[in-house]
Every structure is written in structure tokens, then in C-alpha cells.
Amino acid sequence: ETLVQGVMAAGKLVVAGEREGVVADLGEFIDFIQEPESQHVSQGAQVEFIADFLSSAAEPSLQWQRNGMPIPGATEKTLLLEAVHSADAGEYRLSVTNEGQTWYGPAAFLTLDKQQQPPVLQSAMTRSSYAVTLEWQDNSGYEEIYLIERRESGSETWVAVANLAAGSTHYIDRNLTPETAYQYRISAVAGDDVVSVSSEVVTTLEATNLKNLSTRGLVGQGDDVMIGGFVIPEGPAMSLYLRGLGPSLQGSGISNTISDPHLRLVQSGVPVPLEIVNDDWMDSVDYQAIADTGLPPIDEAESAMLVTLPPGAYTAVLSNNGEEAMAVGMVEIYDITADCGSCRLKNLSTRGVVRGGDELMIGGLIIRGAAEKQILVRGLGPSLAQVEGTLADPVLRMVTGTGEAFTLDDWTESNRSPQFAELGLPMTHEKEVAEIYQVPAGSYTFLITGQDGSEGVALLEIYEVD
């Protein structure tokens, strides 16, 4: 028999011969008769993909996919992409589904020229005396780095302040000058291809500083002395007033105090360190100047010193010349620098023994100025190297001058925990505690205790963030 013709229509195969015809049912099928074309375009271009097919189904469902994922709303034979950017690059194909069975059409690929797009500035703002926060939208997709530059208002010279990783979208510029106007330029850099956006002028606020830092805790001899470290940042020398207290603390209801505080100040990290010692403040050559501060120690056995110090790291060591094996003492540091808005104390860290009752460790600070201040406080114990008998599980409690109190056990409970590493102060033990507080001017107290009344050596750190 001679075959005359064979055609497919509506899911049936028709075969006609010279004497008779045969009609047979076929299964469901899709036959793609037009493939989408791969395209290489510039960012911002319009792109159209078209696919077509024959189907045994009257109305199959269609879905375009990009890199194997459905594109919302893309359910026609033609896919139109407006103003493509780097996220649109990839593999495209049309899928056709009927009665639970899916067919996938041929793939087309969209590639884009590596054409830089400038970032979109979202904000440049400050609530601080020393910092400006920048946020922007990353539009490029091809940058190698982001370059952050600034200049003071009225200057024509841009100064590079940071190179950030590709994909970055925020930066905090710290250590600025109070009450100063700055402008910023954010650039996406890929080789010689640089596209930028500039900010409006941003003015930092009036100087707001840590004017007083103090720590109260147990003091003994040998390894049980109280050790307080602080840093004076780059800039002018600062005038400080330090006190080592003991007997006068009994006026606050503390009975077990050191009877004869001995205060020693040592400079760190220099070949010939500065060292200043005072036992009884009334024996100091600065006796009258100490009295004139209006804050002389109440007890003549307590210690005090007036110092002018260059930038650097310093350690204040409080010990006890009395007979008490272990008793409560306090170290205080006051900033009395006159007419220097850029001068400020940056931190205080104190190591000591923590017990219960009045024998916990207490850090205090006073903030003066109009701006808000960010403070990072840490309570460390298990991670202290080469220290025996550390506090196993420090607990931090912050009390404001108005009596509000906030307690934190572990640093992982903080909503701002990702910032610790960004600030160069990563936490290494899950039982230690840290928090960042954003607070207005006023007085604040930070208490370190042991969970369930436990005892041990702890380190209390207070840092100015900005």
C-alpha cells in the first residue's frame, strides 16, 4: 500500500492510503517551533525573548524561568524586560505545562556589558559629634571596590578615607571634628571605570564627650590589684584628674573598703614610659590644685593626681597599703582639659575580682554635650588569657541616671551583635556579655556580676563608639 500523507492534529495521527485511512490517538505533546535568541546588551537596555510551540492541549499554562526560577507574571510567549541590570543576566527558557506534565523549551542567555552604574545615595546623616553615617544603593554589580572620599565644606580637595568591598552599601566615618561641615563622594571602581555620587553637606554636632570614667571593685595585692587601662587618641595632650578612693566609700554604705589606696599611673607601649605614683593626696606637690578642682578626696589616706598626658595608652593601678586582704576601692578619671573640643577619653577597661553583694564590679561614666553618644560595654571572663579563676558567666546591668535598668547575660542576645566585629572587638566566648548603647548626655552605671552568684576575675570595658 502506498502512503499518501500523514499529519498531526488535535492529538491524532491520520494516515491515508490508496484504499483506506487509519486514525490513531497520540499522547500529550509539545513541539517548540521557535527558540528564544541569546542576547548581549548594555545595562539599561530593553530585552525581548520570544518562544513558540505546537501543542496537543488547547490551553496549556506558560511560565518563563530565569536560572531555573519562575519569573513572577511572565506567563506569555513573549517576555519583555525593561531596563535590564546585572541581576537580570543568566539563562532564560519557557516552560509549558498541561495536566501535570511540563516541557522545557530551549535556553537563551542574557549577558550584559560591564558598564558601571553610579550608586544611589540614600542618606548621609549624623547624630554624633565625631561620626557621619553613609548609606547607598549598589547599582553597579561590577565594581571591584567602593571608594569613600570626604572633604570639608569649602575645600576643593577630596581625601580618601576608605576602600570597601564590592557590594557594600553603608559606611560610618569616625574620628571627625565636632561642629564641622563635610561632604562625601562614593565611587564604584572597576579598573579605570569610576562612577560616583556626592552627598549634601553634613555637619557634625557640638562636642559630646566622656567627661568622667570610673570603676569600683575589689582591690588586693599582687595579682589582685585593680588595673584600669585607658586611651588618649591622636591629637593634643589632655589634662586629667585621677583619684584612688577607699575609706570615703563607707559613706555610701560599703563597710569593707581598702583603708590606704595607692595609685600608680604608667604609660604603655613606649621605650621610656611615664610613671607617676601617689599614696596620700595631701602629700602631693599638686595639693592645692587638687583642692581647687572642687573634688578633692574626702579622706587624707586616699590618692589623687593631676596629669597632662600626650596621646597613647595608659594603665592606672590601684592597690592597698592597708592590712585588708581584699576590700572595695575605686579608680576615677576626670577629663579637665580646657578649650579643646577634639580632646576626649576613648575608653576605660578594668580588671578585678567579682563577688556578690557590694563586692561586684561597677563602672560609671558621665557624658556631657548636646549630641547622643554610642557606648560599647563588655564584660569578659572565660576568654581572659593567662588568668586563673576567671568569672565563668558575666552578667551586665546598665542603670541610667533616672533609674532605668537593662540587663543582658550573653552577647548573642544583643540586637547589635554583628557590630562588635565591625568595630574590631569581636566576642570569642558565648558566655561573655556585650552591648552597644545609644544614649544622651547624663550619668550611667554598668554592673558586672556572676550568673547565680558565681565569683571570679572579670574585665569590664567601656568604649566610646562615636
pLDDT in tens, 266-294: 998 888 888 999 999 999 999 899 999 89
More confident residue, 241 or 339: 241
Tell me, what amino acid is at 282? Answer: M
pLDDT at 375 > cutoff 60? yes
Number of domains present in the structure of the chain: 3
pLDDT score at 18 = 60
- Domain end: 112, 128, 151, which one? 112
What is d(CA 132, CA 203) in angstroms, rounded to the nearest whole number? Answer: 9
Three-state DSSP at 285 gives: coil
The upper half-sphere exposure of residue 333, i.e. CA atoms within 13 Å in the direction of its Cβ, equals 33
pLDDT score at 22 = 60
Placement of cell 589634662 in the chain: 239
Q: What is the pLDDT of residues 440-456, one digit of tens each?
A: 889 999 999 988 888 88
Domain that holds residue 270: 209-464
| 306 in the same domain as 170 | no
Residues in CB range of 131: below 8 A, 6 or more apart? 172, 173, 174, 175, 176, 204, 466
pLDDT score at 151 = 94
What is d(CA 329, CA 73) in angstroms, rounded to the nearest whole number? Answer: 70
What are the residue ranges of helices labelled H in 151-222? none
Q: Which CATH number fits the domain that encloses residue 296?
A: 2.60.120.380
> Following DSSP, what letter does each residue of 119-149 receive, concatenated?
-EEEEEE-SSSS-EEEEEE---S--SEEEEE
What is d(CA 329, CA 243) in angstroms, rounded to the nearest whole number? Answer: 10
Tell me, what amino acid is at 135? Answer: E
- Determine the Cα angle at 229 with ends 420 and 339, to 5°: 95
pLDDT at 261 > cutoff 50? yes
| 256 in the same domain as 335 | yes
| 155 in the same domain as 20 | no
Placement of cell 565636632 in the chain: 178
Placement of cell 506558560 in the chain: 62
pLDDT at 427 > cutoff 60? yes
pLDDT at 2 > cutoff 60? no
Cell numbers that stand for 15 in this block: 494516515
Q: What is the pLDDT of residues 177-197, one digit of tens each?
A: 888 999 999 999 888 778 888
pLDDT at 465 > cutoff 50? yes
**How high does pLDDT run on average in the chain?**
86
User: 6 falls in which pLDDT band (50, 70, 90)?
Assistant: very low
Measured from the Cβ of residue 388, the count of other Cβ atoms closer than 10 Å reads 8
User: 326 falls in which pLDDT band (50, 70, 90)?
Assistant: confident
Q: How far is CA 392 from CA 101, 348, 356, 453, 458, in A?
A: 61, 22, 14, 11, 9
Residues in CB range of 294: below 8 A, 6 or more apart? none
- Average pLDDT of span 313-317: 92
| 103 in the same domain as 138 | no
- Domain end: 170, 203, 236, which one? 203
For the chain, the farthest-separated pair of C-alpha atoms sits apart, in whole angstroms, at: 132
What is d(CA 432, CA 410) in angstroms, rounded to the nearest whole number? Answer: 6
- Domain end: 187, 203, 219, which one? 203
| 191 in the same domain as 141 | yes
What is d(CA 102, CA 53) in angstroms, rounded to the nearest whole number? Answer: 13
- Could you tell me what percent of the chain has a pLDDT over 70? 93
pLDDT score at 190 = 83
Beta strands in 337-432 (DSSP E): 347-354, 361-368, 373-380, 394-400, 405-408
What is d(CA 144, CA 130) in angstroms, rounded to the nearest whole number? Answer: 29
- Per the DSSP assignment, residues forming a β-bridge with 32 are 53
pLDDT at 70 > cutoff 90? yes
What is d(CA 64, CA 48) in angstroms, rounded to the nearest whole number? Answer: 12
Q: Which CATH number fits the domain that encloses residue 196?
A: 2.60.40.10
Sheet of 120-125, strands arranged across? 120-125, 132-137, 170-173
pLDDT at 265 > cutoff 90? yes
- Per the DSSP assignment, residues forming a β-bridge with 14 are 7, 23
More confident residue, 124 or 322: 124
pLDDT at 14 > cutoff 60? no
pLDDT score at 262 = 93
pLDDT at 139 > cutoff 90? no
| 130 in the same domain as 45 | no
| 363 in the same domain as 426 | yes
- Average pLDDT of span 91-97: 96
pLDDT at 65 > cutoff 90? yes
Q: What is the pLDDT of residues 44-54, one digit of tens each?
A: 789 999 999 99
| 226 in the same domain as 356 | yes
Cell numbers that stand for 341 in this block: 573640643
| 186 in the same domain as 142 | yes
pLDDT at 400 > cutoff 60? yes
Q: Which of 12-21, 275-284, 347-356 has the highest mean predicted lDDT (pLDDT)?
A: 275-284
pLDDT at 20 > cutoff 80? no
pLDDT score at 35 = 94
Say which range, 58-67, 98-107, 417-426, has the weakest mean pLDDT: 417-426
> Following DSSP, what letter does each residue of 268-283 receive, concatenated?
ESSSS--EEEES-GGG
User: 3 falls in which pLDDT band (50, 70, 90)?
Assistant: very low
| 230 in the same domain as 329 | yes
pLDDT score at 91 = 97
| 302 in the same domain as 164 | no
| 277 in the same domain as 242 | yes
What is d(CA 132, CA 171) in angstroms, rounded to the nearest whole number? Answer: 8
What is d(CA 227, CA 30) in angstroms, rounded to the nearest whole number? Answer: 80
Cell numbers that stand for 1 in this block: 500500500
pLDDT at 160 > cutoff 90? yes
pLDDT score at 178 = 87
Cell numbers that stand for 413 in this block: 542576645
What is d(CA 365, CA 343) in angstroms, rounded to the nearest whole number? Answer: 16
DSSP letter assigned to residue 390: B
pLDDT at 369 > cutoff 60? yes
Three-state DSSP at 365 gives: strand
DSSP letter assigned to residue 199: P
Cell numbers that stand for 17 in this block: 492510503
